[in-house]
Structure 1
Amino acid sequence: VAAARRGDWRPAADLLQRSYEEWTTRSAAVHALGEAAADDGAWLQAWRAAGGDERHIAVVDAHGLFWLAWKLRGNRPPEETTPEQHDAFYRTVARTEAAAQHAARLAPEDPTPWFTLVVLARARGYDADTFNAIWRELQARDPLHRAGHEFALMYWSPEGQGSYDPLFAFAERAAAAHPSLAFLVVAAAYDYEDVNEHVWKDPRVHRALDAVLHRLGTREGATGPYANADRSWAAYGLVNAGRGAEAVPLFAQLATDASARPWEDFGPDARTVFDAYRRRACAAA
């Protein structure tokens, strides 16, 4: 990514070529390279001009357009967004959809373009049938696609006074399918806590926390690419669930890493929130 930001496309091309069929690595790389392309797409244009593999270029281009859509809109609330920002966002989201569909045609076995379509589902306003059709395509290619599950959970998060039942149903189905997805129930509780703070007493949430802790006790869970992400969700949930003492070892392993969700959701206050939760965990020990 750093090389791409300097204008050198070759390391990105090499990474995406080497990681083809390693879908977790590819998804993370495309997500990061897409942001770099949204900031300055000259390196992507140079890659295409050099006759690069269009399977890789197209998927980065599609994901980059979604990053660009949000950069054009900004992160202010809707009432503070100008009509020009609003229009630019939705025009670019429509371009993202077309670009992702093009990338999917170029690489039929690759789940990554379908991941991009999952990411934009809420912005595009897909109804449940349309979303589920896209979701089936992603699942057919990578049934445990972690980032896809995270963004799908966001799709099922209700707006306004909507029901949270579909959100929890999705999270529980995923958690039952594989222990690597147990964190989704904790993430669903995090989404719901502003509506009902008692969600942290829910037995479903406690079972999910136990499952995440069990996975972190395995070699795969403790050393995998999402170990700190799982530690972050577990630490946040344990403190809120009145089990702060169990979070102390997790904070010790995280050290100062507040880069994952839910901490990153707090923006510039991420480290402050992280430190506050660590103090609460230590106080409970």
Structure 2
Amino acid sequence: MSPPPSPPGRRRRRAARVFDAALDDTDLAAARAQLTQGRRQAVRALLARTGDDWDRRGHRVTVLAEEPYCAAWARDWQLTEPDSADAAALLALALVRRCLRGKEDPGRAREACADAAARAPEDPTPWLGLLQLERALGTDFDVVRAFEQVRARHPEHHHAHHLMVARLAERRAAAGPDPLHEVYDFASWAAEQAPADSPVAVLPVVAHAERYRVLAAGGFAPPDPVASGHWSGDRAREALRAAFDWWLEWEHEGHPRRLVDLNYLAHAKVCEGRGAEAAALFQHIGGHPTPAPWSYPDRDPYAAFHTARDRALGVRRPRRAGLTEV
């Protein structure tokens, strides 16, 4: 006998827990929906319109590549248009995603990234794909090499800097807390090198969150980030103040990954105990939470985000029978 269907409210609650990597890029979401139906024309047009907006291109290709059958569709596209740099980049990042799921040989993914890079030497996106792969599987040398190739083509590449910070934060994990850890220096250096209006300015906040992830996973910090005290030191307070001031001045409504930064900044403000500033950030995040850093170190990111947001905004959710309040 099959189990009875879930109550409608519970089905809606479960569906709402899905995080959308497209964030608020409605054109990307529409093209992805077409791709899931085996239609690539919308993706072809989307990437053509994106042009050399490298942060947006990297974001869009990465999100499209996450679709389970993207590699097969990209191969078909490449057979139809063998000279298409867009098809080659999409195939490369799709093979990287398959490799990270354990369904593809790393060598084939690396070859696809090299092929895509050769077709469009100015495009950092194939190197971003390689950086995603090496961040998970490669040596420090491989990671740095891929990052430098991205940065040579786009010095402020947002996603690449986040990947580099995440990898650096994991170095010497067994040594425990270190206020002089290299990830902090790297993030500060990158922020100082970037133009004043660059979202790389938020990178020191990202470095603190990634370092907390590593310390908490190793048992060197409490599993509750708010109670950890990790955001209470002088370095953390200075980084948070500078990043929040940058957001007030520049904001960057049009940046494709700005919501990633806002989630890191809101999380940090919650951990710092600055509820009013966190509330302002939650208002701008709206319905676009990201799994990181709300999942750190091993939390339910949906529950952590909504609990923090409701507390900052003064929202009280009524308890309902059969549902867990979050």
State the TM-score bracket (shorter-chain normalisation): 0.7 to 0.9
Relative to structure 1, the CA distance from residue 136 to residue 275 in structure 2 (aligned partners, 3 Å threshold; closer, same or farther) is: same
| Mapped pair 1:140 → 2:140 | no
| Mapped pair 1:272 → 2:284 | no
| Mapped pair 1:54 → 2:111 | no
Higher helix share: 1
Relative to structure 1, the CA distance from residue 95 to residue 46 in structure 2 (aligned partners, 3 Å threshold; closer, same or farther) is: closer
| Mapped pair 1:10 → 2:41 | yes
Contact 2:40 2:77 in 1 (8 A): yes
Query: Structure 1 residue 11: deviation in Å?
Result: 1.4
Q: What is the TM-score when the length of structure 1 is the normalising length?
A: 0.82
Query: Structure 1 residue 209: deviation in Å?
Result: 1.6
Please tell me the root mean square deviation across aligned C-alpha atoms, in Å: 2.5
Structure 2: distance between partners of 1:64 and 1:45: 10
Which whole-Å deviations, capped at 9, do the CAs of 1:37-94 have from their partners, x for residues lacking one? x43534223312222543111111111011112333xxxxxxxxxxxxxxx5xx6222
- AA paired with 1:217? L
Structure 1: distance between partners of 2:122 and 2:275: 43
Contact 1:39 1:68 in 2 (8 A): no
Helix, strand or coil: the match of 1:201? coil
- AA paired with 1:10? Q
The aligned runs of 1:52-131 (5 Å cut-off) are: 53-72=83-102, 92-128=105-141, 130-131=142-143
Query: Structure 1 residue 30: deviation in Å?
Result: 0.9
Query: Structure 1 residue 6: deviation in Å?
Result: 0.8
| Percent identity between the two aligned chains | 28
Structure 2: distance between partners of 1:140 and 1:111: 8
Contact 2:92 2:113 in 1 (8 A): yes
Structure 1: distance between partners of 2:233 and 2:199: 20
Contact 2:295 2:304 in 1 (8 A): no
Query: Structure 1 residue 111: deviation in Å?
Result: 0.6
| Mapped pair 1:34 → 2:68 | no
The aligned runs of 1:13-24 (5 Å cut-off) are: 13-24=44-55
Query: Structure 1 residue 152: deviation in Å?
Result: 1.0
Residue number in structure 1 paired with 2:22:
none
Structure 1: distance between partners of 2:311 and 2:148: 41
Gaps of 5+ in 1: 73-87
- Equivalent of residue 184 in structure 1, options 196, 200, 203: 203
| Mapped pair 1:174 → 2:190 | yes
Helix, strand or coil: the match of 2:114? helix
Structure 2: distance between partners of 1:261 and 1:39: 25
Helix, strand or coil: the match of 1:161? helix
Query: Structure 1 residue 110: deviation in Å?
Result: 0.6
Q: Which of these two proteins has the greater Rg computed from alpha carbons?
A: 2
Contact 1:245 1:281 in 2 (8 A): yes
Contact 2:54 2:124 in 1 (8 A): yes
Relative to structure 1, the CA distance from residue 144 to residue 5 in structure 2 (aligned partners, 3 Å threshold; closer, same or farther) is: same
Structure 2: distance between partners of 1:181 and 1:252: 22
User: Which structure is higher in RCO with an 8 Å CA cutoff and minimum separation 6?
Assistant: 2
- Equivalent of residue 239 in structure 1, options 258, 270, 274: 270
Contact 1:239 1:280 in 2 (8 A): no
Relative to structure 1, the CA distance from residue 4 to residue 279 in structure 2 (aligned partners, 3 Å threshold; closer, same or farther) is: closer
Query: Structure 1 residue 282: deviation in Å?
Result: 4.7
Query: Structure 1 residue 145: deviation in Å?
Result: 0.4
Query: Structure 1 residue 260: deviation in Å?
Result: 5.6
The aligned runs of 1:206-217 (5 Å cut-off) are: 206-217=237-248
Gaps of 5+ in 2: 1-31, 222-227, 315-326
